[in-house]
Structure 1
Amino acid sequence: MGWINDLKVCKAEIDSYVAKTAEASGRGRGNIEDQIRSINELIKGLEILTAQNLPLPEPPPGALPYRNLKSELVELNNELTRCLKLFSDSVSNGEKLIRDAKNDLKTQTFNYLVSFLMSFSSRTATRDRLHIFTTNYDRIIEAGAEIAGIRLIDRFVGTIAPIFRSSRLEVDYHYNPPGIRGEPRYLEGVARFTKLHGSLDWYTTEGAIRRFGLPFGASSVEPFLQVEAAGAANYHQLMIYPNSVKDRETSEYPYVELFRDLASATCRPNSTLVTYGYSFGDEHINRVIIDMLTIPSTHIVIIAYGDPLGRIMRFVNESGRKAQISLLLGDHFGDIKNLVDFYLPKAAIDRSSIRMAELLKSRGLYRTTISNNSEDAE
């Protein structure tokens, strides 16, 4: 869902502000996320203007009556609820379309997703863990990791309704090899996971951020919010916050913690960042990436279908670090099937396969030809 055309209050003001901020950020046109952000900011302004609870004064003779700000504030809160419901339903519908797809197509889709994730997460366990960041609100990555058997580590702790914790302990998975005591080893297939803009199944209650058990492909979050609210569903509890030109939400809990995770994971020597489908439309994320590139040993690989608004090329040119950027742009590179089939490393090519090749070579069953001054050497 891209736009709401039937706002019932302050429509002209909101649409005008959305268009202005979208143009200032280089995104061309606004969307429903910009509308929700603008309604949030307008509500804050009206709450300030009506804080004294003064009666509405009489207008001067011949003038139009004053606007009833209290009434508009109530209507805006109702509109915000409606927009959040429509927005969450559109995200839920995306998951539902995947769940209800034909079995063959769904199996193929998830197989490619699993292969894509395993290409990055099947690294040696003693190396730094893969850290996945996403700005999406859906749970497609979580579903793929679940099928692949990848254990995701995030900031939530608990089982029934996990709670978001601010502690930055480097929690990890270990195991004891059979017959060996006191020498735990790092478990393979583990990745850290951060959703920078929140998630469809996050909600706030009693001053805490929790995650409720929303099935993948559920048609709506309303029944689950009704349970959590012990009555009518309150969509204001949903932690799905859109992007902001002024970085308002990145300075609020829990987003400040999530962006600290992004900065600490990327702004370190020898780190490599791979972006897939990111349009470089969020300036607060771009600033972290720019800071990362100031470290000479870092590198970023940008993979995208295209750059219709020119933001990717603008970022590359303005960064001044083209030697540290690899750009894979176009329909061919943006297709996850091509990436998995032809470019990304296969998880099966592990140490056992390399050892087998070495044994075959040592027994004369595997020949390697190297061109050196027109002579063949084995």
Structure 2
Amino acid sequence: MLKNYLELDNVSFLFGSGSSIHLGAVAIRNFPVEVEDFIKNKSGTGANQIEGLYEEFIHAIKALQAKWLSDSSSKISDNEDGDKILTEANNWTYILKDDILRDTGSKEIATEFERVLNYLIAKDYVLDEDKATDRTDQLKELIIAIKEGLFEVCDIEKRETPSYLIEKKSNSEYSQQQKHGEFLKGNNKYVFHEKFIKSLLQRPLNLRRANVFTANYDLAFEYAFDRLGVHYIDGFSGFHKRFFKPETFEYDIFYPGSTTSGKVQRIEKVVRYFKLHGSLSWVNSEKRDATNLYGIEEMPLRLISKLDKKGEIIVYPTAIKKSYTLDLPYSELFRQFASTITQSQSVLITVGYAFADDHFNDIIFQALSNPTFTLIIVDFNGTKNNPNIERIKDLNDSRIIILQGSFFGDFLTLADTLMPDFNGVDTKVKVAQTLNDYFDNSKKDKE
């Protein structure tokens, strides 16, 4: 089914956190427990600790949940264990403990990670502007700690595939998902990202470059690109020093052409790649100059991890919805997103994206005003317990296709089954295997 859409001239994918869960990445629909624990460990009176840090965090959470609690007080009841439980209309349940609502299963604070960070940054800005007040709060330190905590939990090289996911796939009623379980046990954790990229790159060369947009901060696609030898145009330029230069989004890569005929041929393995909410590897550089006008540098994670107070310089993930995206690099990234998907004969395939970001949604709905635009939603939950996707379904628009459920709504199924299996996709892998076999046989002959 997807093959016809992938042969359109303008193909784009938008990836959300659902595409990285199998890598051990944390979802940020709620506030991750591991980041909360990181703040707890930073709070105190000991060496390298900050007194009152966790209390400042809890105060912010209570402020953010106050209206929700007030409006939902009639829905809270005691369960058989004596816990206070809030049940919402979509059947999601939350436990109320110490005046804070948490997810009943994961025990995560039931407030979106970015909403917490956005609130703290906005409050810090207001207090900074009030020159008459002497500040005694720990907001700046708390913001730094949250960023550092997220850095630790989003570094997927240090994470493992959840055991429950391997077990679930291995025991699935679908043979294809049983195979996915075996893949997840293997040494190459990026195998599904690689499968997806291989298929995507087999589109006919006369079509425009495929566009991969992601709201994730992790480097899953970067690792997969590198393993496959794929060139990706991501807005950064340089080798030892890589700085943000938005004009590079308009670049392309070609083989040397014939000067007499004036013909050139495009390099095959190239993808346009956009990290709409920033990245673990983006930092504010020390100074701006002619080669670094925007003050944003891309660095290897191993170097960033050695920096003191790395939370002060990491760019992600302060894309404060519609307000912050007016600033670079987000203004340019969102301009590229809007410009790309609103063109004629375009298809946008969202994967693991719950349509919870207003800025993304505004651009997508703008694209729907184009009669030649197609929207394909691949999401595990889909319309189940997700009013955002439910509203999209209710539009009853034939240009909107929703693939949902544990099989069709899974990124692993998309990468391994739904993406077209073009001929020659593993040519280089086969060449490498042939060479290895040849040298192995030659060595045996000499022995």
Instruction: Give the match for residue 311 of structure 2.
Output: 235
1:270·1:298 contact (CA, 8 Å) conserved in 2?
A: yes
Q: Could you say which structure has the larger radius of gyration?
A: 1
Instruction: Give the match for residue 266 of structure 2.
Output: 186
CA deviations 1:88-142 (Å, max 9, x no partner) are 11112x331259x999834454333211122222212221110100000000011
Following superposition of structure 1 onto structure 2, how do residues 225-374 of structure 1 map, counting pairs within 5 Å?
226=307, 232-242=308-318, 244=320, 246-307=321-382, 308-317=385-394, 320=395, 322-348=397-423
Offset, 1:249: 1.9
Instruction: Give the match for residue 96 of structure 1.
Output: 158
CA deviations 1:171-200 (Å, max 9, x no partner) are 101114799864211111211000000000
CA distance in 1, matches of 2:396, 2:297: 40
Which stretch shows the higher mean deviation, 198-207 or 264-273? 198-207
Q: Secondary structure at the match of 1:122?
A: coil
CA distance in 2, matches of 1:292, 1:103: 37
Q: Secondary structure at the match of 2:250?
A: coil
Q: Is 1:33 aligned with 2:98?
A: no
CA deviations 1:23-78 (Å, max 9, x no partner) are 99x999313332222211111111012x24x6xxxxxxxxxxxxxx5111xx2111
Q: Secondary structure at the match of 2:280?
A: strand
CA distance in 2, matches of 1:180, 1:22: 70
Q: Secondary structure at the match of 1:172?
A: coil
CA distance in 2, matches of 1:166, 1:110: 28
Which stretch shows the higher mean deviation, 105-114 or 250-259? 105-114
Instruction: Give the match for residue 243 of structure 2.
Output: 163
TM-score (norm 1): 0.74
1:280·1:315 contact (CA, 8 Å) conserved in 2?
A: no
1:22·1:30 contact (CA, 8 Å) conserved in 2?
A: no
Q: Is 1:195 aligned with 2:272?
A: no
Q: How many correspondences in the alignment?
A: 317
Identity %: 23
Q: Is 1:71 aligned with 2:136?
A: yes
Aligned alpha-carbon RMSD (Å): 3.3
Give 1:315's aligned amino acid.
I
CA distance in 1, matches of 2:267, 2:244: 24
CA distance in 2, matches of 1:21, 1:253: 33
CA distance in 2, matches of 1:18, 1:159: 43
2:212·2:273 contact (CA, 8 Å) conserved in 1?
A: yes
CA distance in 1, matches of 2:406, 2:324: 33
Q: Secondary structure at the match of 1:41?
A: helix
Which stretch shows the higher mean deviation, 258-267 or 246-255? 246-255
CA distance in 1, matches of 2:344, 2:336: 16
Offset, 1:204: 0.8
TM-score (norm 2): 0.64
Offset, 1:202: 0.2
Q: Secondary structure at the match of 1:332?
A: coil
2:190·2:220 contact (CA, 8 Å) conserved in 1?
A: no
Instruction: Give the match for residue 150 of structure 2.
Output: 87
CA deviations 1:330-361 (Å, max 9, x no partner) are 001133443344322013268x9xxxxxxxxx
Which residues of structure 2 form unaligned runs of 5+? 1-25, 27-31, 41-52, 72-89, 95-109, 164-181, 289-294, 428-447
2:404·2:410 contact (CA, 8 Å) conserved in 1?
A: no
2:237·2:248 contact (CA, 8 Å) conserved in 1?
A: no
Higher relative contact order (CA 8 A, sep 6+): 2
Following superposition of structure 1 onto structure 2, how do residues 28-67 of structure 1 map, counting pairs within 5 Å?
29-49=110-130, 51-52=131-132
CA distance in 2, matches of 1:70, 1:10: 13
Offset, 1:296: 0.3
Give 2:213's aligned amino acid.
F
CA distance in 2, matches of 1:111, 1:178: 38
Instruction: Give the match for residue 173 of structure 1.
Output: 253
- Within the candidate set 189, 194, 213, 2:300 is matched to 213
Which residues of structure 1 form unaligned runs of 5+? 55-68, 227-231, 353-378
Instruction: Give the match for residue 62 of structure 2.
Output: 16
